[in-house]
């Protein structure tokens, strides 16, 4: 296994770093929470400008990410604190830290470069490894559990709704047929089934969609995101900002609707009649903010990033 305590650039390259810092660091003595701290890329940019009374709180589900950050920032002069927890329990972290109100909240959704490049984590179909895909290595459900345990209808729904895959039913049928011969335990085995079931040039995109669907399901990402946004809202000071980077349409849609004051769900059965929520924001990014070509050239994985930001309305 590779050493998780790698340099920041190897662990993950923060996308739109300067824009994120500009949006969040409006008060030098404020309190900012990065609830997907990963390798601490945004922390490294915010720590030098945080005031003596300010604080940065880093949260992540992945114990390796927390270990990395604790080592990386061990000698930092700023007040930096780290917690291994998931988004659904962000309020408990703030209670534990004795923080009633915060000024900024950051979410960099998706998978870090370290996780993608570690074969044993199973986040990439381009490398052979176990069908894992867990952000939190302590949880029980893995991608192998899903692929070998869900029935055909459930797999088809999973690929269709969470992967937005048009060949969902065909893929589910082929997966079930393949596992009847032998359980699918590796990324290579599953990728081969998907490739054989996908016509022509569609295979790469289909693989990406299937992996996305499995990752979202295994980690409960959409429900985690919804709960995290709902639970952080009461903790935001008036004018407190939320900045979210999404890399696929499901999460981006949920965030967009949350900022608009609609029920924070990833889709509506009838979007003409959205259900209003008690969350009130001034939207800062009227149009989604994306990396420019220069940044994409330096970091190709930034290509799909979408940044949205909003500030809580003073009541």
For domain 8-114+221-312, the question of CATH label 3.40.50.1980 is answered with no
Q: What is the mean pLDDT of the chain?
A: 90
* In the chain, ranges of CATH 3.40.50.150 domains: 8-114+221-312
154-184 per-residue burial string, b: 16 or more CB within 10 A, e: under 16: ebbebbbbbbebebbbbbbebbbebbeeeeb
Residues 35-61 have pLDDT tens digits of 999 999 999 999 999 988 999 999 999
Q: What is the model's pLDDT at position 4? A: 37
Least Cα distance to 159 among 172, 178, 143 occurs for: 172
If you search the block for the tokens 């969470």, which residue do you land on? 162
> What mean pLDDT is predicted for residues 64-68?
92
- pLDDT bucket at 119, cuts 50 / 70 / 90: confident
Question: What SS3 class is residue 226?
Answer: helix
pLDDT(146) > 70 = yes
Closest CA to 34 of 63, 58, 52: 58
Average pLDDT over residues 190-198: 95
* CATH number for the domain running over 125-219: 1.10.150.170
Partners of 307 in the β-ladder: 245, 289
pLDDT tens per residue across span 250-298: 999 999 999 998 876 655 555 555 667 788 999 999 899 999 999 999 9
Question: Which of 309, 268, 267 lies closest to 287, judged by CA?
Answer: 309
- CA triple 237-74-106, angle to 5 deg: 30
pLDDT at residue 176 in the model = 98
What pLDDT does 263 receive?
A: 72
Percent of the chain with pLDDT over 90: 73
Q: What is the pLDDT of residue 193?
A: 97
Segment 5-26 mean pLDDT: 77
Structure tokens at 299: 């970091």
Q: How many CB atoms neighbour CB 113 within 10 A?
A: 18
Classify residue 293 as exposed, middle or buried by CB count within 10 Å of its CB (0-12, 13-18, 19+): exposed
- Lookup result for tokens 């996308």: 15
Locate CATH 1.10.150.170 in the chain: 125-219
pLDDT, position 7: 44
Residue 262: per-residue pLDDT:
83
Q: Which residue has the tokens 């500030």?
A: 311
């Amino acid at each position: 296994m590779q050493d998780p305590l790698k340099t920041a650039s190897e662990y993950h390259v923060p996308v739109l770093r300067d824009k994120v810092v500009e949006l969040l660091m409006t008060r030098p003595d404020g309190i900012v929470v990065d609830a997907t701290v990963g390798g601490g890329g945004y922390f490294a940019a915010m720590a030098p400008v945080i005031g003596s009374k300010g604080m940065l709180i880093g949260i992540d589900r992945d114990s390796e990410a927390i270990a990395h950050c604790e080592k990386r920032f061990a000698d930092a002069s700023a007040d930096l604190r780290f917690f291994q927890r998931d988004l659904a329990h962000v309020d408990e972290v703030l209670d534990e830290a004795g923080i009633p109100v915060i000024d900024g909240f950051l979410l960099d959704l998706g998978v870090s470069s370290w996780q993608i490049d570690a074969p044993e984590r199973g986040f990439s179909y381009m490398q052979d490894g176990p069908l894992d895909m867990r952000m939190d290595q302590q949880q029980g459900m893995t991608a192998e559990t899903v692929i070998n345990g869900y029935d055909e209808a459930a797999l088809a729904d999973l690929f269709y709704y969470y992967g937005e895959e048009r060949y969902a039913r065909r893929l589910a049928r082929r997966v079930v047929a393949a596992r009847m011969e032998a359980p699918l335990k590796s990324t290579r085995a599953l990728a081969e089934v998907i490739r054989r079931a996908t016509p022509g040039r569609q295979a790469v995109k289909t693989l990406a969609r299937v992996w996305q669907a499995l990752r979202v399901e295994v980690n409960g990402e959409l429900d985690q995101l919804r709960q995290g946004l709902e639970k952080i809202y009461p903790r935001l000071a008036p004018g407190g900002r939320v900045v979210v980077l999404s890399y696929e349409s499901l999460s981006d849609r949920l965030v967009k609707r949350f900022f608009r004051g609609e029920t924070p769900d990833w889709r509506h059965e009838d979007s003409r009649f959205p259900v209003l929520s008690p969350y009130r924001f001034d939207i800062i990014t009227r149009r989604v903010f994306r990396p420019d070509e220069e940044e994409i050239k330096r970091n190709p994985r930034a290509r799909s990033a979408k940044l949205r930001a909003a500030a809580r309305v003073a009541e």
